[in-house]
């Protein structure tokens, strides 16, 4: 499969480059462009062929643009996405740009600006390209609703969801408010085959997992002018209840061993609230100031109950883990833009953040004599961080050339109390240099060099238990932030109305690589394992296929090839960086992968008001390196397809097949007698899961 994927990657890459000459000679006109070469503007009429019903659907069809919701874990400046609304970012983290855009009816969108450099004092916040959604002024009230049903062809019942949003004015206040709800199930089922060191099958397991969830949310985004000050308010309230059941039947393959079974039941409740406010004002003729305040709170409660039964259906073990995790964050931020000198834009940002995580875990074990408390070291802890950072930068425009130079700094204090007591101070300097050459609106070359400081996940500081793997996930109070020097060079070329190709090369020099650090012969913790590197190539393209006779169609391709290197703390040998676990859908583009390819075909019949499309996603396997175990995650090709129409009753009806091939999800676990690769193999476990092909239908409209 890997060999075939590489051939497919090469073929699609060549096919995306082939039609360049054809497109360049096309009679199609370029999108309406600003006199500034840094902006490519698409009017709302450009997107009519795609039958959009929301601003999100419009943004997702901008040629050569991939929406990024940002990182919700890192402050405000480090978590914003690459989308603006009327030149401004919402003061929100938990309510990402994609969700906000999904509540804005497409009828309110006047145009989309693709901003590729410094214009109108807009702070790009480190992105090379951002999409600016221009909403009509004095637009009439608009309301949107959507209802959807998803059916899983495996073992799970249907999932239902729905939502309603309203965009209107109340006096001088413009607002968008939305309510949504969802109820249904997800999960997987499959087999585990365990082999001894000689490859003899010793045990077979049949397992099924069902996760029932009910959730609801309410959102409000509002803005108005108070005199000469523009004020925005963003709020979100989210509640979710999950009930999980995992059933495992164990069938030994060797004589003398009897069958058994296990069940794990879990109940989780999540409450999340966020309030964000910002005020923007022209302090002087050439000085713009903005103040941002953000507060968020998250309460996550989880109870897991594991029961083991022998072949006579007699209970032999009960384990209960009751865990409560509460997190809060307060952010204050100031932003200033100064245009005192011609062709220069000076920007200064200052931010202070206060983060707290409180975690408690009570675990008991009963093997027949009554429950006994089990201590999980590091599970009952409180982690606090006070962080301040600043960034000052100057963007110098010189005709087709633009140079951005900046210097930032970050200072923080992290303390932990409870089971582990620790306090540390950090200070980092974060310089940046960006250069771009934009001779016209259809061509741009960019070079970037900057230092990035990764956000620490406070959950890595505290310990927990994982019943399904019979493991403890230990925390590490000595974890330090990973820092990287990042260099990138890219070239973007646009052809006609839709065509665009962007080729990028990157190289990262990483210090204090965050990975799994061995602490005993069997246990590891999230830790820093030394210095590493990451390098590779990316290709993003949108290619119209009219030259093949496929009218009003396009092929979007994203490919990424990457290699990496770090010294393994167990074997002292060079290896690739550890990747992520699990099987999120759709398969994400960003990860520690050797390669990934995403190909999307879409065809629109404007007069018939019908569109259809199909996409395929495939990526390389993903190794996870533990002390005495090597895990490798992999899956086969993901295929999705859709057909949608707006020709009936002014409604948008969409039929979609998700993972229609029901791809295999493999997890190979190789256990060693002692340390990995330094001792003989003890056993192997081959895990195969399927979570079912899914069919969904959604209906949406305006009123």
Does any domain span residue 528?
Answer: no
| Local confidence band at 72 (pLDDT 50, 70, 90 cut-offs) | low
> What is the spatial distance between Cα 423 and Cα 698, in angstroms, rounded to a whole number?
51
pLDDT band at 37 (very low <50, low <70, confident <90, very high): confident
pLDDT reading at 567 higher than 60:
yes
Residue 178 lies in a domain: no
The answer on pLDDT for 542 being more than 70 is yes
- Please spell the DSSP secondary structure of 92-108, one letter per residue: -SSS-HHHHHHTSBGGG
* pLDDT value of residue 74: 62
Lowest mean pLDDT among 98-102, 294-298, 506-510, 562-566: 98-102
Using CA atoms, how far residue 136 sits from 219, 306, 680, in Å, is 21, 56, 67
Least confident of 114-123, 327-336, 527-536: 114-123
| Residue 319 pLDDT > 90 | yes
49: CATH: 2.170.130.10
Average pLDDT, the chain: 88
Q: Which of the four pLDDT bands, split at 50, 70 and 90, describes residue 20?
A: very low
- Secondary structure class of 232 (helix, strand, coil): strand
> Does residue 33 contact residue 39 with C-beta atoms inside 8 Å?
yes
Is the pLDDT at 307 greater than 70? The verdict is yes
Distance CA 367, CA 372 (A): 9
Of residues 582 and 551, more confidence is placed in 551
> Residue 90 falls within a domain, yes or no?
yes
Tell me, yes or no, whether 45 lies in a domain: yes
Q: What is the pLDDT of residue 527?
A: 93
Q: Is residue 154 part of a domain?
A: no
In this prediction, residue 78 has a pLDDT band, given cuts at 50, 70 and 90, of low
Question: Which run of H or of E encompasses 631?
Answer: strand 629-635
**E-only strand ranges, 419-466:** 422-440, 443-453, 464-466
> Within the chain, what is the greatest distance between any pair of CA atoms?
86
Give the separation between CA 273 and CA 297, rounded to whole angstroms: 5
pLDDT digits (tens, 9 = 90+) for 446-458: 999 999 998 888 8
Q: What is the pLDDT of residue 294?
A: 94
Q: Is residue 48 part of a domain?
A: yes
185, 212 Cβ separation under 8 angstroms: yes
The residue ranking higher by pLDDT, 120 or 165, is 165
* Matching residue, tokens 């940046």: 432
Split into its structural domains, the chain has a count of: 1
Considering the domain boundaries, does residue 266 fall inside one?
A: no
Q: What is the pLDDT of residues 205-219, one digit of tens each?
A: 999 999 999 999 999
CB 175 within 8 A of CB 100: no
**pLDDT (0 to 100) of residue 555:** 95
Residues 610-662 pLDDT 10s: 999 999 999 999 999 999 999 999 998 999 999 999 999 889 999 999 999 99
pLDDT-derived band at 1 (thresholds 50, 70, 90) equals very low
- pLDDT for 3: 40
Q: Check: CB of residue 384 under 8 Å from CB of residue 356.
A: yes
Tell me, what's the pLDDT at 19?
Answer: 43
State the SS3 of 518-577: ECCCCCEEEEECCCEEEEEEEEEEEEECHHHCCCCEEEEEEEEEEEEEEECCCCCCEECC
Q: Whole-angstrom Cα distance, residue 216 to residue 241?
A: 9
Quote the strand ranges of 285-314, DSSP E. 287-309
Which of these ranges, 42-46, 66-70, 547-551, has the smallest mean pLDDT? Answer: 66-70
pLDDT at 70: 75
Host domain of residue 86: 31-139
Mean local confidence (pLDDT), 460-468: 87
Stretch 325-350: mean pLDDT, rounded?
A: 92
The 10s digit of each residue's pLDDT in 167-196 is 998 988 999 999 999 998 888 899 999 999
**What are the strands of the beta sheet with 130-135, ordered from one edge?**
39-43, 109-115, 130-135, 83-85
341: left (phi over 0), alpha (psi -120 to 50) or beta: beta
DSSP H or E segment with residue 55: helix 55-59
Listed range (63-72, 382-391, 548-557, 599-608) with the worst mean pLDDT: 63-72
Structure tokens at 260: 């058994």
Integer CA distances (angstroms), 166 to 57, 145, 176, in order = 17, 9, 5
Phi/psi region, residue 88 (left: phi>0; alpha: psi -120 to 50; beta: rest), is beta
Q: Which residue has the tokens 């606090």?
A: 384
pLDDT tens, position by position, 115-149:
887 777 777 777 888 889 998 887 788 889 999 99
Question: In percent, how much of the chain has pLDDT > 70?
Answer: 93
Residue 134: CB partners within 8 Å, gap ≥ 6?
86, 109, 110, 111, 112, 113
Predicted pLDDT of residue 250: 93
Which strand (E) or helix (H) includes residue 5?
helix 2-17
pLDDT, tens digit, 9 for 90 and up, residues 8-18 = 444 444 444 44
In a domain, 125, yes or no: yes
Structure tokens at 25: 């000679």
Q: Specify whether the CB–CB gap between 116 and 372 falls below 8 A.
A: no
Above pLDDT 90, what percent of the chain?
Answer: 63
């Amino acid at each position: 499969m890997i060999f075939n994927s590489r051939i497919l990657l090469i073929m699609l890459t060549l096919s995306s480059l082939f039609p360049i000459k054809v497109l360049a000679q096309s009679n199609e006109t370029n999108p309406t462009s600003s006199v500034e070469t840094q902006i490519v503007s698409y009017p709302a009429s450009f997107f009519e062929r795609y039958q959009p019903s929301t601003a999100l659907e419009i943004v997702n069809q901008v040629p050569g643009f991939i929406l990024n919701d940002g990182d919700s874990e890192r402050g405000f400046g480090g978590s914003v996405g690459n989308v603006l609304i009327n030149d401004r970012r919402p003061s929100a983290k938990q309510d990402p740009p994609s969700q906000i855009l999904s509540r804005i009816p497409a009828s309110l969108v006047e145009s989309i600006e693709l901003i590729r450099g410094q214009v109108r004092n807009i702070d790009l916040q480190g992105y090379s390209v951002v999409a600016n959604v221009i909403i009509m002024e004095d637009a009439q009230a608009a309301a949107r609703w959507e209802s959807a049903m998803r059916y899983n062809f495996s073992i799970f019942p249907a999932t239902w969801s729905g939502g309603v949003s309203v965009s209107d004015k109340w006096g001088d206040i413009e607002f968008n408010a939305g309510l949504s709800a969802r109820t249904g199930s997800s999960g997987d089922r499959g087999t585990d085959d365990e082999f001894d060191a000689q490859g003899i099958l010793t045990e077979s397991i049949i397992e099924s997992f069902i996760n029932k969830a009910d959730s609801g949310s309410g959102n409000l985004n509002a803005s108005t002018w108070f005199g000469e000050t523009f004020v925005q308010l963003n709020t979100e309230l989210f509640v979710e209840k999950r009930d999980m059941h995992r059933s495992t039947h164990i069938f030994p393959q060797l004589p003398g061993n009897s069958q058994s079974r296990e069940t794990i039941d879990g109940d989780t409740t999540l409450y999340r609230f966020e309030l964000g406010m910002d005020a923007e004002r022209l302090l002087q003729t050439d000085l713009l100031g903005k103040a941002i305040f953000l507060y968020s709170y998250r309460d996550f409660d989880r109870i897991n109950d594991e029961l083991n039964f022998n072949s006579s259906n007699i209970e032999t073990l009960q384990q209960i883990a009751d865990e409560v995790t509460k997190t809060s964050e307060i952010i204050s931020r100031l932003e200033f833009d100064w245009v005192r000198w011609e062709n220069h834009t000076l920007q200064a940002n200052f931010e202070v953040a206060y983060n707290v995580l409180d975690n408690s875990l009570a675990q008991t074990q009963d093997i027949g004599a009554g429950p006994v408390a089990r201590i999980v070291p590091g599970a009952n802890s409180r982690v606090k961080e006070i962080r301040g950072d600043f960034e000052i930068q100057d963007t110098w425009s010189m005709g087709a050339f633009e140079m951005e130079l900046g210097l930032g700094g970050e200072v923080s204090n992290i303390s932990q109390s409870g089971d582990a007591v620790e306090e540390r101070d950090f200070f980092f300097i974060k310089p940046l240099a960006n250069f771009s050459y934009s001779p016209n609106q259809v061509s741009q070359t960019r070079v970037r060099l900057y230092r990035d400081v990764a956000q620490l996940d406070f959950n890595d500081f505290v310990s927990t238990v994982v019943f399904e793997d019979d493991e403890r996930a230990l925390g590490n109070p000595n974890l330090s932030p990973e820092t990287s020097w990042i260099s990138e060079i890219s070239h973007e070329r646009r052809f006609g109305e839709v065509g665009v190709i962007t080729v990028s090369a990157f190289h990262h020099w990483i210090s204090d690589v965050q990975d799994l650090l061995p602490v005993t012969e069997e246990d590891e913790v999230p830790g820093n394992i030394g210095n590493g590197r990451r390098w590779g190539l990316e290709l993003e393209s949108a290619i119209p296929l009219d030259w093949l006779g496929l009218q009003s169609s396009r092929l979007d391709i994203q490919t990424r090839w990457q290699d990496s290197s770090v010294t393994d703390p167990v074997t002292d040998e060079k290896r690739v960086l550890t990747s992520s676990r699990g099987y999120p859908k759709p398969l994400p583009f960003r990860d520690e992968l050797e390669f990934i390819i995403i190909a999307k075909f879409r065809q629109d019949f404007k007069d018939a008001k019908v569109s259809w499309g199909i996409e395929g996603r495939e990526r390389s396997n993903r190794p996870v390196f533990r002390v005495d175990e090597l895990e490798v995650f992999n899956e086969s090709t993901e295929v999705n397809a859709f057909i949608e129409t707006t020709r009936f009753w002014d409604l948008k009806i969409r039929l979609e097949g998700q993972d229609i091939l029901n791809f295999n999800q493999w997890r190979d676990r190789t256990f060693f007698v002692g340390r990995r690769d330094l001792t003989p193999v003890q056993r192997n476990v081959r895990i195969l899961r399927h979570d079912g092909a899914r069919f969904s239908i959604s209906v949406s409209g305006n009123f």
